[in-house]
Structure 1
Amino acid sequence: MATTESIKKAYVDYVLTEGEEPKSVYVFAKKNEMTEAEFYNHFGSFKALEQNIWAGIATNTLAEIKGQEVWPQYSAREKALSYFYAFFELLKQQRSFAVYSVNKQPKSITTPPVFAELRTIFENFCNEILTEGLESGELSDRKFFSKRYKDALWVQFGFVLHFWINDSSTGFEKTDEAIEKGVNVTFDLFQRSPIDNLFEYGKFLAKNGGIAEKMGFGV
């Protein structure tokens, strides 16, 4: 009896051996001694199957990092770094499949459908840690822009994924460096900066500028 895991394993073996997706579910099922019905009991298509593989890596990443005893003490920045490091550490175990899957995606400014479930899991995680960061004051709560923080992290994730695919450094140490620099720069932008102070001062002057004028300091 075919299972979700056995079907995923057989699919990965097929695409890495043949270099392409099976011609049909019938061909794939026959090769792996299962019926089409057994396949469809678990997946509606090969695209759904690949989505599930990527989503599974994301889910396993969360289970691993949230199981750490120190997790509750981490800042939002540290939690994001932990996710990135853990995800790509797990992805090493399926590098050949990841390279195949990423490289076959059409070039587009939108997220490829194969990453749809992964993105949902990733963004839910980001919303969770960003909310914590905003509530603790670690991150700056900017009108309109705060809601886009998760999008910035998704763009960063996409950059690191493609960087890792092309990384030939020993132990993928350059990817680790890209994660450290990229996530830290992104969170630096999320935190309060002199621009925020200037903006707040501008609002203050707009409300109280008349006082300065009455004292003879108008321009």
Structure 2
Amino acid sequence: MATTESIQNAYIDFVLTEGMQPKSVYIFAKQNEMTEAEFYQFFGSFEAVEQSIWADFARKTLTEIRAQEVWAGYTAREKALSFFYGFFELLKGSRSFAVYSINTHPKGFTTPKVFEQLKAIYENFADEILKEGIETTELNDRKFFGKRYKDALWIQFIFVLNFWINDNSTGFEKTDEAIEKGVNVTFDLFQRSPIDNLFEYGKFLVQNGGIKDKMGF
């Protein structure tokens, strides 16, 4: 009997063996001893199968890291790092599929359709930890840029994903380094900085008589 997981596994096996998607759902279903109707009970297309595989990588990662005893005590930065490390550790077991999937989808300025479900899950997670970080004052809630923090985290995620695809280092240790440096730099930008203090000081002077008045001009 067909299941979501059995169709995903059969699809991965096919594309890695043949180097391409099946020519039709009919052929794919027949090869895997199911009917077309059974396939369509779970997925509307092969693209939907591939989307679900990437989405499941994110879901499994979140399930694993949230089950850790230390999770509740993590800062937003630590939760982001935990997701990155967990996701790419999980992805090691499906590297051949990841390379195939990424290399067969056009790259551009918009998110490839294959990542749409993954992105939605990731952004919900990012929203959650960013709100926690702002509430605990770990992160600075900037008026115009605070809402763009999750976009910065998504860009960081895609950067690391592409870095990992091309990483030939032993145990992908360079990817681990890229995660550590990239996530930390990104969160450093989210935190309060001297520029924020300068901006606040300037706003204070304007609201209380202006810079010129305070300097006696």
Which residue in the other structure is 1:29 paired with? 29
Q: Which amino acid aligns with 1:178?
A: A
CA distance in 2, matches of 1:210, 1:165: 54
What are the superposed Cα offsets for residues 11-69 of structure 1, whole Å, 9 maximum, x if unpaired? 00000000000111011111111110010011010011001000001000000000000
Q: Which amino acid aligns with 2:46?
A: F
Q: Report the 3-state secondary structure (helix = DSSP H, G, I; strand = E; otherwise coil) of the residue aligned with 2:109.
A: coil
Q: Which amino acid aligns with 2:73?
A: Q
Which residue in the other structure is 2:173 paired with? 173
Q: Please give the root-mean-square deviation of Cα atoms over the aligned residues, in Å.
A: 1.1
Q: Report the 3-state secondary structure (helix = DSSP H, G, I; strand = E; otherwise coil) of the residue aligned with 1:41.
A: helix
CA distance in 2, matches of 1:118, 1:211: 49
Superposed displacement of residue 209, structure 1: 2.7
Which residue in the other structure is 1:96 paired with? 96
CA distance in 1, matches of 2:67, 2:81: 15
Which residue in the other structure is 1:119 paired with? 119
Which residue in the other structure is 2:38 paired with? 38
| 2:186 pairs with 1:209 | no
Superposed displacement of residue 158, structure 1: 0.1
Matches within 5 A, 1:1-219: 1-209=1-209, 213=213, 217-219=215-217
What are the superposed Cα offsets for residues 92-111 of structure 1, whole Å, 9 maximum, x if unpaired? 01100000001111121000
Superposed displacement of residue 218, structure 1: 2.7
TM-score (norm 2): 0.98
Q: Which amino acid aligns with 1:43?
A: F
Superposed displacement of residue 211, structure 1: 8.9
Identity across matched positions, percent? 74
Superposed displacement of residue 210, structure 1: 5.0
Superposed displacement of residue 172, structure 1: 0.3
- 4+ runs deviating over 6 angstroms: none
Q: Report the 3-state secondary structure (helix = DSSP H, G, I; strand = E; otherwise coil) of the residue aligned with 1:111.
A: coil
Superposed displacement of residue 173, structure 1: 0.2
Unaligned runs of 5+ in 2: none
Q: Which amino acid aligns with 1:142?
A: R
Q: Tell me the matched-pair count.
A: 217
Unaligned runs of 5+ in 1: none
CA distance in 2, matches of 1:186, 1:83: 15
CA distance in 2, matches of 1:107, 1:11: 22
Q: Which amino acid aligns with 1:107?
A: K
CA distance in 1, matches of 2:13, 2:64: 26
What are the superposed Cα offsets for residues 167-192 of structure 1, whole Å, 9 maximum, x if unpaired? 01000000000000000000000000
Superposed displacement of residue 160, structure 1: 0.2
Mark the CA change 1:29 to 1:138 in structure 2 (over 3 Å): closer, same or farther: same
